[in-house]
Structure 1
Amino acid sequence: MKHAETVTFGGSGLDRFAHLRGDAQGLSKAKQSAGTTAILLWRGKPLVHAEDRGTLVRLPMDHVVLKEAISEPIYLGREDSGDCFAYDISNWTPDALDSDALDSFLDRSEQHHPLLDAGQVFCELRGIMPELSARDAELAATAKAVFGWHRSHRFCALCGEQSVMAMAGWQRDCPSCGGHHFPRTDPVVIMLITRGNNVLMGRSPGWPEGMYSLLAGFVEPGETLEAAVRREVVEEANIKVGDVEYVASQPWAFPSSLMFGCRGEALSEEITVDPAELEDAMWVSREEMMQAFTGQHPVLKPARKGAIAHFLLRNWLADRID
């Protein structure tokens, strides 16, 4: 699809400069270079400008707040202006922290660290993703995903001993058995299933009222993308699917997925929802989806901007799925 990489987190052409990851001397030199900057995360939330939440804050490498990092930084790559690292200060606890807001479906709370400028705040990535530039989106998603992997993979899967960060954050090594472990990405299919003028939409339990999206599910071992699409749609809605085509992909750091956007033609219409998978599913016409996109549908909320479901639906409405 000619518009494939315009999806949020779709890639900005960042030179990840991977050969530098294992070069201790080169990394040390990069950290001291005048053009090198750092982005900062707290519990997966990137630091942005309060008045322009679509722009990541880039800090100088000698900023005092970086001393609060819980680990060595992750090397993200080289921009035109210089190298870029990511730091995590998740051990910091803000005053009057609202735990309920952090645990909500969409965390709209903002946190300000006292060592940072007043106009610099931590924001939930899902809330600001439509506003980010392609470059800032790629940097933020990469840092969030890799830091998340380190938090959930602290112990060696081979012997159970605690492993250590290596290769500028892109590897964990076990000092006990010598095992090497690498960041994982879980493949997920998300599918635009159509029949005539209608598209299949579903909602999971606990979603906000009126929120529906395209059906999605994890790809199983030994399974193709096409087979995963057909299996998931049958399992969730008992709809059989014929031809399936890949459309576009989206890195989804919530926590560590790669979303494979596909389209498929339904061979049946009658929906039978599996309550263990979905709360509801329904066919939605193009006209109704247009109403939803403009916020005028009586039931459906607008598709969430930045998510690949929004991208697929928008291009379907514009007849640009090719």
Structure 2
Amino acid sequence: MPPDPFFAGPGLDRADHLRADPDAILALRLRPDALALHWENGAPAISEDGRLRWNAMAGDLPIFLGLDDGAPRFSALPDGDVLFDTRAHFALLANVDAAEAPVFAAALSLANWHRRHRYCSVCGVATDANRGGWSRACPACRAEHYPRCDPVVIMLAEHDGELLLGRQSHYPPGRYSALAGFVEPGETIEAAVARELAEEAGIAVTDVHYIASQPWPFPSSLMIGIHATSLDRNITIDTTELDDARWFTRHEVMGALAGDGNSAFLPPPPWAIAHTLLETWVNGLK
């Protein structure tokens, strides 16, 4: 099996069976071992050792994150903007302990969702956090709204032992990564992979299969890692999407992942599922 991507993993016990019981949530808030997630600069705060920072409970915090070995963990809705742009916060992600990353992702995604969905999409009335913060309820039309995540396919296309990787204009110099795109309504994962690769690189693929997935909390996506086989090497780049795309050999990918100073490209960072997909490919795992 491929390794778990960053942000994946068990995290907290989400204790779904308690969310619909307001009395149970209140009792959890009042427990002496209950803690509240500390927020800083629009993101869950991280200590120097990479661990999440927690405070004593204060007030009626709306989000019940779950149980940590039975101990309740809650979060407020932070004031101000919630972080959703990783480009400005790579240093923060580099310091997050991998074991803490699933809780970081869940808390950040939920906070983003609450701040973007304060009003009922049915009737426009302001909604209230509900079910321990895992839904929002409309007091007027009684509609209940649940957090969403947007499916994104991210794929390695292979032809004769080489991988197609591309770069976008905002990448650091020399960085290449897997191509990706949102799954559109009425579309399967396989169809999205074929469409995105045809649109961005002008290639046709077959043998589409799943490798791994990753929750991506910027603001709230599910990255679906895919491997596909390209029918030929001819590339036609959509320059509105990509600055460049090219084929890389296994040796070149291995050198990039090893941090070789003379490598053919700069790989995606370790917290990106594209990095996991490249590791999986060079190790022959599918």
**TM-score over 0.5 (shorter chain):** yes
The answer to whether the 8 Å contact 2:7/2:98 transfers is no
Matches within 5 A, 1:6-25: 6-12=4-10, 14-25=12-23
Identity of aligned residues (%): 41
Match of 1:57 in 2: 53
Match of 1:313 in 2: 278
Matches within 5 A, 1:135-150: 136-150=100-114
Match of 2:67 in 1: 78
Cα offset, 1:297, TM superposition: 3.6
Cα offset, 1:81, TM superposition: 4.7
Q: Deviations over 1:256-287 (max 9, x none)?
A: 10011010001111111111221111111111
Cα offset, 1:13, TM superposition: 5.7
Worse-superposed segment, 289-298 or 176-185: 289-298
Distance 1:230 1:297, change over 3 A: farther
Cα offset, 1:181, TM superposition: 0.7
Q: Deviations over 1:78-115 (max 9, x none)?
A: 121511112243349xxxxxxxxx9782336xxxxxxx
User: Partner of 1:168: helix, strand, or coil?
Assistant: helix
The answer to whether the 8 Å contact 2:10/2:102 transfers is yes
Match of 1:178 in 2: 142
Task: Name segments (4+ residues, structure 1) moved above 6 Å.
Answer: none
Distance 1:174 1:60, change over 3 A: same
Of 242, 248, 273, which aligns to 2:206? 242
Gaps of 5+ in 2: none
Match of 1:159 in 2: 123
Cα offset, 1:12, TM superposition: 1.5
Determine if the alignment matches structure 1 residue 105 to structure 2 residue 87.
yes
Distance 1:206 1:227, change over 3 A: same
Distance 1:261 1:103, change over 3 A: closer
Of 193, 199, 212, which aligns to 1:229? 193
Alpha-carbon separation, structure 1, partners of 2:158 and 2:101:
30
Answer 1 or 2: higher relative contact order, Cα 8 Å, separation at least 6.
2
Match of 2:98 in 1: 132
Determine if the alignment matches structure 1 residue 282 to structure 2 residue 278.
no
The answer to whether the 8 Å contact 1:202/1:213 transfers is yes
Match of 1:97 in 2: none
Match of 1:112 in 2: none
Worse-superposed segment, 308-317 or 78-87: 78-87
Matches within 5 A, 1:204-283: 204-283=168-247
Alpha-carbon separation, structure 2, partners of 1:76 and 1:132:
18
Distance 1:91 1:277, change over 3 A: closer
Alpha-carbon separation, structure 2, partners of 1:180 and 1:12:
27
Match of 2:79 in 1: 90
Match of 1:40 in 2: 38
Cα offset, 1:42, TM superposition: 3.5
Alpha-carbon separation, structure 2, partners of 1:188 and 1:279:
20
The answer to whether the 8 Å contact 1:41/1:90 transfers is no
Q: Deviations over 1:227-261 (max 9, x none)?
A: 11111000000011011001111001111100110
Alpha-carbon separation, structure 1, partners of 2:17 and 2:243:
47
Cα offset, 1:307, TM superposition: 1.0
The answer to whether the 8 Å contact 1:42/1:88 transfers is no
User: Partner of 1:56: helix, strand, or coil?
Assistant: coil
Alpha-carbon separation, structure 2, partners of 1:306 and 1:45:
16
RMSD of aligned alpha carbons:
2.1
The answer to whether the 8 Å contact 2:166/2:246 transfers is yes
User: Partner of 1:105: helix, strand, or coil?
Assistant: helix
Q: How many residues align?
A: 283
